Amino acid sequence: MRRRSALPLAAAALAVPLALLPAASASAAPADKPQVLSSWTQTSASSYNAWNTARQNQGSWAAYGFDWSTDYCSSSPDNPFGFPFRTACARHDFGYRNYKAAGTFSANKSRIDSAFYEDLKRVCARYSGATGTACNSTAWAYYHAVDIFGLAPANSA
């Protein structure tokens, strides 16, 4: 009779230390999430291209828990005067939303805004003459708007 009660007690005794160990969260992001986020929010065209490739294949990055939501250019036109700024605005939203979620927005805001401006200037590089000048002036206005007013929390779309 002692043997029957010893087995469940032994199993319970072994289970207690396991229950006290911190459980690995099924939704825990990979340890390199900050590095990936940083690599996708730099001012270079290669950073933009890497982010855009990932954006088109978000399922591959699901474990990272990135917020891909966007309202594009918020209350400003996404394609002002026919200039396609929509994707640049989406990357800007990505930076704002994910750095705010990480609690490191203030330390990264200036770079995210600069990356936005570089993205807009790359759009404008497709144009020349008066059209190019108009595009660059519009890009400057969009950049200045986020530089000055881009402190409000980004809401999910």
Q: Which residues are catalytic?
A: 92
**Length of the chain measured in residues:** 157
Which pair of tokens denotes residue 66?
A: 């990135």
DSSP letter string, 19-52: HHSPPPPTTPPPTTHHHHHHHTSSSSHHHHHHHH
Q: Kind and range of the H or E element at 107?
A: helix 105-124
